[in-house]
Amino acid sequence: MPDYFYKARDDAGRLVSGTMSAASTDELTSRLRKMGYMAVSITPAASKKANSLRDISDSIIPVRLKDLAAFSFKLSNMLNSGLSILTSLRAIESQTGNRRLKAVTGDLCRQVESGSLLSEGLSKHPRVFDRFLVNMVKAGEESGKLNEVLRRYSLFLDDKQDLQEKIKGALFYPALLLLFALIVILFMVTFVIPQFADLFLRSKITLPAITQALFVLGIGLKKYAYLFILGTVAAVFFLVKYVATKKGKYQLDVFLLRLPVIGLLLRKICVSRFAHTLALLLSSGVAVLQSLDIVKEVIGNEVMAGVLAKTREAAEAGEKISGSLRISGEFPMDAVEMMAVGEESGDLDGALNKLGDFYNKETNYAIKRLTILIEPLFLAAIGGIVGFIMLAVLMPIFEMVKILR
């Protein structure tokens, strides 16, 4: 049967669209009417080749945190207003600007219409909806609090996006400074210093070791620039590939956590993410062991993930979460103590929320402090390197002036 692209309106007058197979336009009109839609237009769908190309392009389009947050917030509000899941999804599909999320939402509509649960539909799109959301929605369906679960998830994503924007903002200026410094240093070493090389060699003065080293480096970079570029690209490529492996990611995370200022910031981010995520899962009705499995996947640090894997094993054996975290030595003691109080009082998710809020504030403070410190440190380092290069050039010049006198 041929495929048709249709536009129709539901009982509330909202415009919906999609693709459906039918023997004829009359059959499709009849099927839409049975589904509660009034057909507005029906046209033959694009060829399979065109559709496949469009599907490929849609699959490349990223679904950003703000898209998922908006999706969850809208769905929560519509469900809270008394609309059905299917009606809500159809409305969201017509409003969504992201083509990939729009296509996925359309598929969710079809699956819910065929009798599937929302959590089942979400689980079929793991590249868009992670296991975290799927399990929360499943728990919300079982408890009858789906709208509340989705509202909490949208707020969680808003906080996560806000943190990411703050980190990007803190790193942007230093990265710009570093790029500028590299360009200046490479220019001086490869173009400025070699200009003095012939002059110094003709003067037959004994060059200081640092000047000789810079001359060799500058002339070598200029002569073998292509090898330097190829070597740098190859090194970066293999480093990125290695870091993408589990072992490489673990070693990188160990190194970053051991850095003086950055390590402390990353640890605070991990604790905040751990606490908020676990609290959200537990308050949504997800079991403790299953929640720990999910937190391990989303915490974003292999060292902390390893700790949570052991914590999960300990919890399965009947031990307290705080006890296992205390033994690991990776979690701050104040965080462990707050969790222990929550376990003793029977309000673990409440204690985790307070812990997450506390470390979220600590993270914001640490980012501000890092932003204040990193600018003068970068400028001092750049000034020191440029000064060193200038010293290497000026020392032979001073020696030549002495000889001329």
3-state SS, residue 16:
strand
pLDDT at 98 over 80: yes
Distance CA 214, CA 200 (A): 13
Neighbours of 16 (CB within 10 A): 20
d(CA 46, CA 30): 22
Q: For strand 15-21 and strand 3-9, is the pairing parallel, antiparallel, or unpaired? A: antiparallel
DSSP letter assigned to residue 205? P
332-377: pLDDT as tens digits: 999 999 999 999 988 898 999 999 999 989 988 888 888 888 778 8
Angle at 167 (CA atoms; ends 255, 265), nearest 5 degrees: 40
Tell me what the mean pLDDT of segment 7-36 comes to: 76
| pLDDT (average), residues 13-29 | 75
Over 70: is that where the pLDDT of 405 sits? no
* Contact (CB, 8 A) for 289 and 315: yes
Q: Torsion over CA of 55, 15, 22 and 86, rounded to 10 degrees?
A: 80
pLDDT at 56: 44
Mean pLDDT score, 217-237:
85
Flag whether pLDDT at 388 surpasses 60: yes
Of all residues in the chain, what percent carry a pLDDT higher than 90? 24
Is the pLDDT confidence value at 60 over 70?
A: no
Q: Cα–Cα distance between 99 and 17 in angstroms, integer? A: 13
- In angstroms, the CA 306 to CA 262 distance is 20
**Statement: residue 28 has pLDDT above 90:** no
CB proximity list for 104: less than 8 A, separation 6 or greater: 63, 125, 128
Q: Are 146 and 79 in contact (CB under 8 A)?
A: yes
Residue 47, pLDDT score:
44
pLDDT tens for each residue of 113-131 = 878 889 998 988 888 998 8
Distance between CA atoms of 368 and 372, rounded to whole angstroms?
A: 6
Task: For residues 317-329, give the mean pLDDT.
Answer: 91
Residue 282 has pLDDT above 50, yes or no: yes
Question: Does 50 have pLDDT greater than 60?
Answer: no
**Banded pLDDT at 51 (limits 50, 70, 90):** very low
Q: How far apart are CA 162 and CA 335, in angstroms?
A: 22
**Most confident by average pLDDT, 121-135, 188-202, 368-382:** 121-135
The mean predicted confidence, pLDDT, of the chain is 84
* Residue 329 to residue 303: CA distance in whole angstroms: 11
Taking the C-alpha atoms of residue 395 and residue 391, their distance in angstroms, rounded to an integer, is: 6
CA distance 264 to 284: 30
The strand pairing partners of 8, in sequence order, are 16, 39
Contact 266, 257 (CB under 8 A): yes
Range 129-136 average pLDDT: 87
Using CA atoms, how far apart are residues 224 and 232, in angstroms rounded to an integer? Answer: 12
State the pLDDT at residue 49: 43
Q: How far apart are CA 334 and CA 281, in angstroms?
A: 22
Query: Using N-to-C axis directions, what is the helix angle for 321-328 and 333-345, rounded to 10°?
Result: 170
Q: What is the pLDDT of residue 54?
A: 42
User: Cα(403)–Cα(311) distance, rounded to whole angstroms?
Assistant: 73
pLDDT of residue 351: 92
Mean pLDDT, residues 137-142: 86
Sequential DSSP letters for 257-320 = HTSHHHHHHHHHHHHHHHHHHHHHHHHTT--HHHHHHHHHHHS--HHHHHHHHHHHHHHHTT--
Candidates 348, 342, 344, 357; CA nearest to 288 is 348
> Two tokens at 130?
């992670």
Q: Which of 317, 316, 319, 321 is nearest to 274 (CA)?
A: 321
Q: What is residue 239's predicted lDDT score, i.e. its pLDDT?
A: 92
Query: Residues 312, 313, 316, 321: is their CA dihedral positive or negative?
Result: negative
- Eight-class DSSP state of 22: -
